[in-house]
Structure 1
């Protein structure tokens, strides 16, 4: 029949049976005798019938597709996170689609997804609560929300930032900088709050300054230029992610100041490239892949009603040569 779309109605007409009988036969329902079923399936094959996925989805109310909503795909961080999600979901018979931008938010109310993992600051809390109220299952990685249809799988940002600042202070640093992340970023806000608290709890003699950053290399390079221009003795710098730390290495390259000797740097995320920097970067480590995997596992539990729980992804400090003693 060429490219003509064949419907259940067409099969019913050819087989001389009702539409509901065809529907039962195609879905393997025992209400239809084996003989009738065979006849209907033969007609369907002859007409090149292709089941309509959208119609089937409406009927069953499931797509076996999960959405991961991200603000951006840039940087080395997302590959491992998404791979962790994908592996866990595939194991459980689900597929993953990656979404970005406000237009893609429509995929939830339009029923294209069985659930979503959200790391996207363009999704407002109100919007997510609205979806949850309508029965959509969500896992959030970048905010704290209380709802029966929402599970939080959060990174222990506060512990990581505390480890970073305490480590710099223990090495004897009195002059400290924190290079912040983008405005409105949950991870940045949590890390910064913990950095401030650690300084407040520490020696009143500590000289602490915050520099604006954007979680990218360019803002790390700009901060390095500023630190070099103000330099009057050893400084400890906590970059709220590794991308900015890499930018700082770049920014100090053509100055008289060296990482690990004059400027002592701690990053956050322990991305692969951190171990190849010279000197090797001290960074807060956790498994991005595990974070993605745990998020996927908790979402499936939420969808299947099998006891989903909030989880926290633990962190540790990995020492490199980018921090030395004063």
Structure 2
């Protein structure tokens, strides 16, 4: 592999001159710069990313941890992260935790040993935990995406899930529904809890009664939605509408309802949450709350780079607002 010394010898200049041309660190005449560049091209010279990273104390690399899930929500967020990294000239190392806390902590340790410039964390298994590895790397910039209180210093990018839950319930109420159920995510998780709190606020403001049999806690997965609906169905009378707290569970609900001959939305209205890409291709297409997934990833990268470049000093919380997407899964009972 060619070195700067080889280029200097071929171009008839000093090694320091070659360094200035390649790194653009000092003015060099056009004639000499051309000789150096031609020599580098002839020798198929490729700058050492490792050597440069040691010199400037930057690797131009970001590490990201994400919980493995069948939910395409995570993939759509990662797409926003990857595209933003590419546009900013950064590489991305992606690690899946598969919901395993020990694997998650080991992955964080590995990424920090590889001297990534910063970390993006999107794994709710961290919620409320102390992570000892950060004690050994107190200066590493960290941005947490879309989950609750942390026991370590970081910036945070989040969806306004409270407002999203409120929007979902309010839309069902505005459509004339009074008997409304809710299938939540795991309520020990912050986002699931506050999404449900937003739902309850809208119900309370409308003076509607909560039926205990119509509120089922689940797990944010298709199978969880399927099982939750069957539990609700077995309890007796169904509500006229259900707020299902993510689109994956909504898919499971629709499947279970279809098996029982319950028509969506004629017999039962469904509203989801997230607006994953496939939501509009479901039958019927799913009315849902849009969470700005691509923007979530983009905002996380932008905030992390500001922290890396010391453009911000105080902890940042960037909140992205959800919006309603009307499709075909909710029946309007009043005009």
Q: TM-score, normalised by structure 2?
A: 0.77
Q: Aligned pair 1:107/2:110, yes or no?
A: yes
User: Aligned partners of 1:233 and 1:100: how far apart in 2?
Assistant: 38
1:29 CA drift (Å):
7.6
Give the corresponding residue for 1:222: 227
**TM-aligned CA distance change 1:307 to 1:320, over 3 Å:** same
Supply the RMSD in Å over aligned alpha carbons. Answer: 4.1
Tell me the distance in 2 between the aligned counterparts of 1:48 and 1:286: 47
Q: Answer whether contact 2:180 2:239 (CA < 8 A) is retained.
A: no
Deviation at 1:148? Answer: 11
Aligned counterpart for 1:80 among listed residues 73, 76, 80: 76
Q: Is the 8 A contact 1:84 1:290 kept in 2?
A: yes
The corresponding residue for 2:9 is: none
Name the residue aligned to 2:252. 247
Sort the Cα spacing of 1:77 and 1:246 in 2 relative to 1 into closer, same or farther, 3 A: same
Equivalent of residue 89 in structure 1, options 85, 88, 93: 85
Q: How many residues align?
A: 321
Determine if contact 2:120/2:143 at 8 Å carries over to the other structure.
Answer: yes
- Structure 1 residues 93, 48: CA separation in 2 closer, same or farther (over 3 Å shift)? closer
Change in Cα spacing, 1:73 to 1:263, as seen in structure 2 (3 Å) is same
Q: Would you say the 8 A contact 1:129–1:147 is kept in 2?
A: no
Q: Contact 2:85 / 2:301 at 8 angstroms: preserved in 1?
A: yes
Runs of at least 5 residues in structure 2 that lack an aligned partner in the other structure = 5-15, 27-39, 98-103
Give, in angstroms, the shift of residue 63 of structure 1. 0.8
CA separation of 1:287 and 1:173: change in aligned 2, threshold 3 A: same
Cα pair 2:158 2:319 within 8 Å, conserved: yes
Do structure 1's residue 117 and structure 2's residue 124 form an aligned pair?
no
| Structure 1 unaligned regions, length at least 5 | 9-19, 31-43
Contact 1:135 1:149 in 2 (8 A): no
Rounded to whole Å, the distance in 2 between the matches of 1:318 and 1:67 is 33
Instruction: Decide whether the 8 Å contact of 2:67 with 2:122 is kept in 1.
Output: yes
Instruction: Determine helix, strand or coil for the equivalent of 2:319.
Output: strand
- Residue 257 of structure 1: how far off its partner (Å): 1.7
Q: 1:261 to 1:292 in 2, by over 3 A?
A: same
Mean alpha-carbon deviation: is it higher for 248-257 or for 124-133?
124-133
Q: What is the SS of the residue equivalent to 1:195?
A: helix
Question: SS where residue 66 of structure 1 aligns?
Answer: strand
- The 5 Å alignment of 1:178-189 reads 178-182=182-186, 184-189=188-193
Structure 1 residues 323 and 25, CA, compared in 2 at 3 Å: closer, same or farther? closer
2:279 to 274, 277, 284: 274
Moved more, 292-301 or 118-127: 118-127
- After TM superposition, give the deviation of residue 217 of structure 1 in Å: 0.8
